[in-house]
């Protein structure tokens, strides 16, 4: 049963008990003074029970609040760890991409230079063939 249902049940129980006690005292064959004393005693009992219920509800609410804060702090720590891990992964991917681009640039430069050399050699061959 949830805390709210327990508190609601206790409130209903106490109010019902108080009404029952008042009606029983009013219809009981006692003197006015005795009835007033009994009513005062029942009112004091009712007040004490209500105070205990309030303290219990307050204690339960505090415990729930503290548990919620604890869970939120744990979630915050977990989120920070995941964010840091994600940041590290992104940095690694960016660095690998940079290395790949730099390596590709070097390969392209070498390929262009090789292509130029081959073109020059072919031009020389053609020029020699024309002269002969």
* Cα separation, 61 vs 2, whole angstroms: 12
The pLDDT value given to residue 79 = 94
Quick one: CA dihedral 14, 16, 18, 24, positive or negative? negative
Per-residue pLDDT of the chain (132 residues; tens, 9 = 90+): 577 777 778 778 777 777 777 777 667 666 777 877 877 888 898 889 889 988 998 999 999 999 999 999 999 999 999 999 999 999 998 888 888 888 788 888 888 888 888 888 888 888 777 776
Q: Say which residue the tokens 């050699």 belong to.
A: 121
* Cα separation, 81 vs 15, whole angstroms: 52
Q: At what angle do helices 32-131 and 3-27 cross, to 10 degrees?
A: 170
Yes or no: say if 7 and 57 are a contact pair by the CB < 8 Å rule. yes
The pLDDT value given to residue 89 = 92
The pLDDT value given to residue 104 = 81
């Amino acid at each position: 049963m949830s805390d709210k249902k327990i508190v609601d049940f206790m409130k209903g129980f106490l109010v019902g008990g108080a009404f029952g006690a008042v009606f029983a005292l009013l219809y009981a064959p006692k003197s006015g003074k005795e009835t007033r004393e009994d009513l005062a005693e029942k009112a004091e009992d009712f007040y004490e029970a209500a105070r205990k219920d309030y303290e219990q509800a307050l204690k339960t609410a505090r415990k729930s609040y503290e548990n919620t804060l604890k869970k939120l702090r744990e979630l915050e720590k977990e989120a920070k760890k995941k964010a840091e891990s994600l940041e590290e992964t992104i940095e690694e991917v960016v660095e690998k991409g940079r290395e790949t681009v730099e390596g590709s640039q070097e390969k392209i430069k070498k390929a262009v230079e090789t292509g130029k050399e081959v073109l020059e050699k072919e031009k020389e061959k053609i020029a020699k063939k024309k002269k002969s």
